[in-house]
Amino acid sequence: MVEDEGIRRYVAHAILWIGIAIVAFPVYIAIVASTQDNALIANGQMSLLPGGHFFEVYYQTIFVGTSGSTREPVGNMMLNSLVMALLIAVGKIAISIISAYAIVYFRFPFRMPIFWIIFITLMLPVEVRIYPTYKIVADLHMLDSYAGLALPLIASATATLLFRQFFMTVPDELLEASRIDGAGPLRFFWDTLLPLSRTNMAALFVILFILGWNQYLWPLLITTRDDMQTIQVGIRKMITTTDALTEWPIVMATAVLAMLPPVFVVVVMQKLFVRGLVETEK
Amino acid sequence: MQKQAIFQSKLLPYALVAPQLAIVLIFFYWPALQAVIQSFLLQDAFGLSTTFVWFENYIELFKDPAYFASILRTFFFSFAIAVSSLSFALLLAVMADKPLRGSMLYRTLLIWPYAVAPPVVGVLWIFMLHPSLGVLARYLRAMGVDWNPLLDGDQAAALIILAAAWKQISYNFLFFLAGLQAIPKSVFEAAAIDGARPMRRFWTVTFPLLSPTIFFLLVVNIVYAFFDTFGIIDTMTRGGPGTSTVTLVYKVYSDGLLGGNLGSSAAQSVILMIMVIVLTGIQFRFVERKVTY
């Protein structure tokens, strides 16, 4: 541009690094705390440098859990979170892509009303239907089960809209060509449409996996057994006991473990993540 | 808009929409309907009989100063979270939009907090600002601040706002950066040739051109503050001290948890539903405008 940008550029670098420091500081503190002795932390004497208890704390966290509040190994909580996140992500994609396929590639009575019925669920997040949904899940005997954790969250207006949008851009010639080859609707879906949707599915999967892993309110309500709780619910229970008894290094190690999978996904699959985020918000 | 090339089949399309339709009807519409019905009923203390009472539950709710306070609080939280997070994210995005070395690295280092779950955000911040052991609380006390968010309601509210705004920075940053990159560089050059200094260029060129993004993010941030702060509040303050951090969603949860008044809890759900409908409506009207923009 017209002005000499030299100084401005240094200022920009400085502001960005300050921003990064602010964003990273809480996580740095969590990592440091997860390597220290609980007695020091409880006295308010925590050091700002890593301590020497890394292996011991993480071993206890993953395989044993806290000795007080929840005796559930965090490794098991992570497994529950993983199963739930995968069920939610895969489930949402699967049922949304087939309903979008039906809505775009077929003409049938009630086609548009069905589309609207799915669309309006955007306005019914779990927070506004907490207790009635809880009652239904209880009546169906799905409390403390993976089905109960995932099923009520699996419908997705956003994913359905996204696939519908994408299918509309697929050239009609493809369908005509596969029809000439003698392919029926299921063949066309499986051999042509699904491979074309791969990038969309991957981008959506990244977002939905993070969303699923980070679920909190719903698992909090419907899991009562310790061995069914997810890591997000587990960490809350760890700080339930009176302050003095909270085992902070284990709590912080759990926080780090809870962040690890979704943060890893964002950093490693950044392109897909950004694409998924921007597309689901359209 | 409709496809010209389609398949003919009587049953297949129904089979394809059936799974989603079943889930939507059983777990979304049925419970929502139950909430609406329940909100017009009054149950006696023993749960033995229910009577239809029209809008009594709603009237009781609006007469309750605690409910009114939680509405105001929710709006205040939303406003504070949105403004602080948006302004900080905009500053960072404007800096990252410059042709800097390592701009991809900056982006990576700024977007990952999106993936941190709200309850974990709560745990991270309460640990740093815990009155007796937090590392930041130490400095606050050294500066003479009587810091105790476990007892002081205003400080607890500030803590929630801070933590919630922190989490939302990355999301806002990402969308601001995308918005900035969509503005043609020639516009800035034209303004620069006209003699507009950088600050002036920002307020007269960048900011107006970014207004669709700002408006979109404002709505998203309000929705976030309404619903996603639940996990932050529940791990940090449990709505306390007293009721000083009870938002509308937290109130639905905690009132229902105590097993108290079912009708009132349902009425609260219905009011929230109406708010979501309004917010989503605003969002979609805006999206349409963005297309024609």
Q: What is the pLDDT of residue B216?
A: 87
**What are phi and psi for residue B190, nearest 5 degrees?**
-60, -45
User: What's the whole-number average pLDDT of chain B?
Assistant: 86
Structure confidence at residue B291 (pLDDT): 38
**pLDDT, position A232:** 94
DSSP-assigned letters across all residues of B43-81: E-TTSS-EEE-TTHHHHHHHH-HHHHHHHHHHHHHHHHH
Please check the confidence at residue B286 and state whether its pLDDT lies above 80: no
Is the Cβ pair A214, B198 closer than 8 Å?
A: no
**Topology classification of domain A74-278:** MetI-like fold (1.10.3720)
Q: Which residue does chain A place closest to B95, by CA atoms?
A: A12
- Residue A226, min C-alpha distance to chain B (Å): 18
Cβ separation of A1 and B188 shorter than 8 Å?
Answer: yes
Please report the pLDDT score of residue A17 as a whole number. Answer: 93
Nearest CA distance, B122 vs chain A (angstrom): 9
> Average pLDDT of chain A?
87
> Can you say whether residue B64 is alpha, beta or left, with left for phi > 0 and alpha for psi between -120 and 50 degrees?
beta
Taking contacts as CB-CB distances below 8 angstroms, the residues of chain B near A269 are none
Share of chain B above pLDDT 70, in %: 94
Question: CB-CB: which of B20, B135, B170 is closest to A118?
Answer: B20
**In A88-118, which positions are buried (b, 16+ CB within 10 angstroms) versus exposed (e)?**
bbbbbbebbbbbbbbbbbbebeeeeebbebb
CB contacts of B7 in chain A (<8 Å) are 105-106, 175, 184-185, 188
Separation between Cα atoms, residue A131 and residue B117, nearest integer Å = 23
Q: What number is the average pLDDT over the span A34-60?
A: 81
Partner-chain contact B100 A220, CB within 8 Å: no
Q: Which residues of A touch B3 (CB under 8 A)?
A: 104-105, 167-168, 172
Q: In sequence order, what are the beta bridge partners of A10?
A: none
Per-residue model confidence (pLDDT) at position B43: 73
Is residue B260 pLDDT above 70, yes or no?
A: no
Residue B110 at interface with chain A, using a CB cutoff of 8 Å: yes
Residue A33 burial (CB < 10 Å; 0-12/13-18/19+)?
Answer: buried
For residue A131, the chain B residue with the least C-alpha distance is: B256
pLDDT band at B258 (very low <50, low <70, confident <90, very high): low
Compute the nearest-CA separation of B95 from chain A (Å).
Answer: 5
CB of B234 within 8 Å of a chain A CB? The answer is yes
pLDDT value for B292: 33
Give ipTM to 2 decimals: 0.90
Token output for B112: 């990952």
Mark out the alpha helices in B112-247 (DSSP H runs).
118-128, 135-142, 153-181, 185-193, 198-201, 207-227, 229-236
A172/B28 touch (CB, cutoff 8 Å), yes or no: no
B199/A contact by beta carbon, under 8 A: no
Q: Which of residues 113-172 of B touch A (CB under 8 A)?
A: 113-121, 123-128, 130, 132-135, 138, 166, 169-171
Range of weakest confidence among A30-34, A242-246, B52-56, B202-206? A242-246
Minimal CA separation from A272 to chain B, in Å: 13
> What chain A residue is nearest to B168 in terms of C-alpha separation?
A23
Tens-digit pLDDT profile for residues B108-160: 899 999 999 999 999 999 999 988 888 888 888 888 888 888 888 899 999 99
Query: Could you read off the pLDDT of B157-198 as tens digits, one per residue?
Result: 999 999 999 999 999 999 999 999 888 888 888 888 887 787
- Using pLDDT thresholds of 50, 70 and 90, give the confidence band for residue A218: very high
CA distance A124 to B251: 17
Interface contact flag, B273 A123, Cβ < 8 Å: yes
Domains recognised in chain B with CATH numbers: 64-289 (1.10.3720.10)
Q: How long is chain B?
A: 293
Exposure string over A182-193, b if 16+ CB within 10 A, otherwise e = ebebeebbeebb
Residue B10's closest chain A neighbor by CA?
A108
The pLDDT tens digits for A229-276 are 999 999 988 886 555 678 888 899 999 999 999 999 998 888 888 888
| Interchain pair A23, B272: CB under 8 A | no
**CB atoms B166 and A23 under 8 Å:** yes
For the cut 90, the answer to whether the pLDDT of residue A52 exceeds it is: no
CA distance B153 to B173: 30
Q: Tokens at residue A241, please? A: 């006991």
Q: Touching check for B96 and chain A: CB below 8 Å?
A: yes
Asked if B93 reaches chain A (Cβ–Cβ under 8 Å), the answer is no
Residues of A in contact with B230 (CB under 8 A): 127, 216-217
Question: For testing the chain A interface, which of B10, B14, B17, B205 should be mutated: the one with the most A CBs within 10 Å?
Answer: B17
Is-contact A23 A242, C-beta < 8 A? no
**Residues with Cβ within 8 Å of residue A138, at least 6 apart in sequence:** none
Tell me: pLDDT of B49 over 60.
yes
Q: What is the CA A10 to chain-centroid distance, rounded?
A: 37
Query: Can you tell me whether residue A218 is helix, strand or coil?
Result: helix
The single-letter DSSP state of residue B147 is -
Give the pLDDT band of residue A70 (cuts 50, 70, 90).
low
| Confidence band of B45 (pLDDT split at 50, 70, 90) | low
Chain A residues whose beta carbon lies within 8 Å of the beta carbon of residue B88 = 19
Question: In chain B, positions 46-85, which contact chain A (CB-CB < 8 Å)?
Answer: none
* Interchain CB distance below 8 Å, B27 and A266: no
- In a mutational test of the B interface, the residue from A15, A23, A31, A188 whose CB has the highest number of chain B CBs within 10 Å is A23
